[in-house]
Structure 1
Amino acid sequence: MRYIYNPSTDPAFNLAAEEWLLTRSGDEIFMLWRNRPAVIVGRNQNTLAEIDEAFTRERGIPVVRRLSGGGAVFHDLGNINFTFINNGNPSEGLDFERFTVPIQQALRSMGVECVFSGRNDLLIEGRKFSGNAQHFHAGRILHHGTLLFASDMADLSGALRVDPEKYRDKAVKSVRSRVTNISSHLQAPMEVTEFIAALMGFVSGGASPEDMALTGAEAATIEELADQRYRTWDWNFGSSPAYNFEKRTRTEGGLLDVNLYVKKGRILKARLFGDYFGVRDVDALEERLIGSRHERGELEARLAGVDLDEYLHDVTLPVLLNCLF
């Protein structure tokens, strides 16, 4: 098995690294890595239905889709991610627990008692500190999991807070759990970098750190894949399943009900209802929305220069944009 410590904290690069190692390398892999603050959504999720769009946008928190299924998670530098890539047959089915055994053993060696629970979680004293997911490709299994070590719980809850009534779809929904940090349960204080070194040392059996880096050629190819997929709106948002979006907002101009039908990230139908006033038929405004990505920047560009007051009296562009998310 090849042991890799990936020091990058770029979520797009790191998820691209997983894909490249799964699809382009024949090695069996164990890798540790971290992301700077980011929201990572599951392969089958509706991205906008999982995040607080204003929260992530205002704080510049990237939102990136991963290859595997499961729910959305918040990553920061206090969260460690582990990846196993093994040769295996999908017909064997999903088996989350066996890949977590080395992690459980490592934690117990540090005095932290933990258990596997439910479908894909690890718990300490009944609280979740690790969620796991898997993806199969051409006779190979990608298993990855989170390890909350010293994550900022306030950011975690804020980035993933969303009104569930706004979206009607068949996408996989995230399930929120009571969570805890590993650092709160250690017998002696430990920095996150010390914990990473201890975990890698245990799982690898003391492999040399000098042998754990990606090569320059690997990193360059992974960077290309990150640009092609993991940094694109089409992958991170446009790959969401079709959905209906509904939102009711009380504005200065009156009540505004927005109804959108979105497929492959683009608005195919748009209706604006309410008790607002206007001198022009709102149909023309609805037509401007059709064909646009359900994305704030593109919608803002489409509506720039439109005299909104003629359609929706006392509704400004920033207010209307907020009604569309």
Structure 2
Amino acid sequence: MAFRLVTARIPHPARFARGRRWSSGARILKSEVPDIIFHFAVEDYLMNFAKITSPLLYLWRPQPVVTIGRHQNPWKECVLEQLQSDQVALVRRRSGGGAVFQDPGCSVFTFIFPSAAFDIDRNLETVLGGLRRLGVAAEKKGRNDLVYQGKKISGSAFKHAPDRQVSLHHGTILIDTDLTALQRYLTPDKRKLQAKGISSVGARVMNLREAFPSLTHQDLCDALTEEFRDREGASGPVEEISEQSELAQAKAFQDLMAELGDKSWRFGKTPEFSHQFETRIDGVGVFDVHLKVVHGVIEDATIFSDALFPDVISAAMTSLCGVEYGRDGIGAALKGLGPQFTEEGPKKTLEAMTDWMISNVGD
């Protein structure tokens, strides 16, 4: 491709407040830092400390790492002993979704938009358009996957900051990742495999290099950059972010790095469960519920899930604490969350989870 990448230093977040009009304010960032915690900190910093008034695209890739969704159980999702033996990091995202292995052969895109303009399909169309520029006729399938010739090449996860009216969508694109690592490090839920009629994780994914041997991470970045420019009007240079960037030197950024790398965040708490039940709900996700009940009252509620709307899961766990154990108490607590989640995706997740939990709790 003839596109030439131009780099520049990202300004201090205060300067985002003086951003240009939408037609010229869309921005593209890129980084070659290998540490995925750095990239998650960039995402959090932009969402929480920058004034996002226009679309933003961030392109990056990590060193070998397994990332899990905000509410997933690492002991259930991963082969921790193998991760430790191979010195592969385990990192928990703030977004939802399932466990994923990533390495330099796995390119990542991050969209950050003002929530009023956030549209998952719009983002995925940008990715599909970029792939078409490379001759890859991919298509959307299922919840938010992209496939090529029937095999998955991309998955996505999301998070929102309602108080700041900013939303994020990040996803992977498999170019030349180690697909055998999926089987070494992850322990996929058997119900997912049975529901999709497959025998292993590796059987349903593919690297684009299998069909496009010369494709590189830089090729993909160039194509996504061009597509994003055309769709969102990004006219400025691609801004390179490194550990020496002004953004990365900010105390708030360093605090985010420390928090995301802390063991208590990565592994969470494990209460003494007194009632555990789990299921997979088609089109919604896997739910693994643990309730600690003391004197007929739920003292602690932990819900592990790969559902794409983590705010629903967080609200459910909070609402269940202090509630009388039983269908009436649990039903009232979860149904009371209805006014908070009126959009189709979160609403469907809450309703499906509520109906299932009520049906699995005996009075």
Q: Scaled by the length of structure 2, what TM-score is found?
A: 0.58
1:237 counterpart residue number? 267
1:66 to 2:90 alignment:
no
Paired with 2:111 and 2:270, the residues of 1 have a C-alpha distance of: 26
Q: How does 1:164-183 map to 2 (within 5 A)?
A: 176=201, 178-183=204-209
Paired with 1:242 and 1:195, the residues of 2 have a C-alpha distance of: 47
Q: How does 1:219-234 map to 2 (within 5 A)?
A: 219-221=248-250, 223-234=253-264
1:146 to 2:146 alignment:
no
Q: In structure 2, do the counterparts of structure 1 residues 198 and 126 end up closer, same or farther at CA, with 3 Å as the change threshold?
A: same
Match of 2:131 among 92, 107, 110: 107
1:126 to 2:156 alignment:
no
Paired with 2:204 and 2:82, the residues of 1 have a C-alpha distance of: 21
Q: Is the contact between residue 151 and residue 181 of structure 1 (CA under 8 Å) also seen in structure 2? A: yes
1:19 counterpart residue number? 44
Task: String of CA shifts for 1:145-169, please: whole Å, max 9, x gaps.
Answer: 011111011112211137979xxxx
Q: In structure 2, do the counterparts of structure 1 residues 197 and 120 end up closer, same or farther at CA, with 3 Å as the change threshold?
A: same
Paired with 1:37 and 1:102, the residues of 2 have a C-alpha distance of: 26
Match of 1:216 among 245, 251, 275: 245
Paired with 1:103 and 1:210, the residues of 2 have a C-alpha distance of: 17
Q: Is the contact between residue 130 and residue 226 of structure 2 (CA under 8 Å) also seen in structure 1? A: no
Q: Scaled by the length of structure 1, what TM-score is found?
A: 0.65
Structure 2, unaligned runs of 5 or more: 1-25, 192-199, 277-289, 293-299, 301-363
Structure with the bigger RCO (C-alpha within 8 Å, sep 6+) is 2
Percent identity, please: 30
1:43 to 2:70 alignment:
yes
Q: Could you say which structure has the larger radius of gyration?
A: 1
Q: Is the contact between residue 22 and residue 140 of structure 1 (CA under 8 Å) also seen in structure 2? A: yes
Task: String of CA shifts for 1:143-202, please: whole Å, max 9, x gaps.
Answer: 11011111011112211137979xxxxxxxxx957101122233x623333332333233
Q: Is the contact between residue 177 and residue 207 of structure 2 (CA under 8 Å) also seen in structure 1? A: yes
RMSD value over aligned CA atoms?
3.2
Q: How many residues align?
A: 237
Paired with 1:88 and 1:194, the residues of 2 have a C-alpha distance of: 29
2:82 counterpart residue number? 55
Structure 1, unaligned runs of 5 or more: 166-174, 247-260, 269-325
2:11 counterpart residue number? none
Q: Is the contact between residue 126 and residue 224 of structure 2 (CA under 8 Å) also seen in structure 1? A: no
Paired with 1:196 and 1:241, the residues of 2 have a C-alpha distance of: 43
1:9 to 2:39 alignment:
no
Task: String of CA shifts for 1:241-299, please: whole Å, max 9, x gaps.
Answer: 876899xxxxxxxxxxxxxx999xxxx9xxxxxxxxxxxxxxxxxxxxxxxxxxxxxxx
**Deviation (angstroms), 1:99:** 1.2
1:76 to 2:100 alignment:
no
Q: Is the contact between residue 64 and residue 231 of structure 1 (CA under 8 Å) also seen in structure 2? A: yes
Paired with 1:42 and 1:75, the residues of 2 have a C-alpha distance of: 14
Q: Is the contact between residue 13 and residue 230 of structure 1 (CA under 8 Å) also seen in structure 2? A: no
Task: String of CA shifts for 1:57-103, please: whole Å, max 9, x gaps.
Answer: 001111111111110100000001100000015xx9x9532211111
Paired with 1:12 and 1:32, the residues of 2 have a C-alpha distance of: 14
2:350 counterpart residue number? none
Q: Is the contact between residue 122 and residue 128 of structure 1 (CA under 8 Å) also seen in structure 2? A: yes
Q: Is the contact between residue 139 and residue 146 of structure 2 (CA under 8 Å) also seen in structure 1? A: yes
Q: Is the contact between residue 96 and residue 133 of structure 1 (CA under 8 Å) also seen in structure 2? A: no
Which amino acid is the alignment partner of residue 233 of structure 1? K
Decide which moves more: 153-162 or 27-36: 153-162
Which amino acid is the alignment partner of residue 249 of structure 2? A
Task: String of CA shifts for 1:103-122, please: whole Å, max 9, x gaps.
Answer: 10111121111111111100
Secondary structure, counterpart of 2:241 in structure 1: coil
Paired with 2:158 and 2:271, the residues of 1 have a C-alpha distance of: 20
Secondary structure, counterpart of 2:155 in structure 1: strand
Paired with 1:105 and 1:241, the residues of 2 have a C-alpha distance of: 46
Q: In structure 2, do the counterparts of structure 1 residues 223 and 58 end up closer, same or farther at CA, with 3 Å as the change threshold?
A: farther
Paired with 2:137 and 2:56, the residues of 1 have a C-alpha distance of: 26
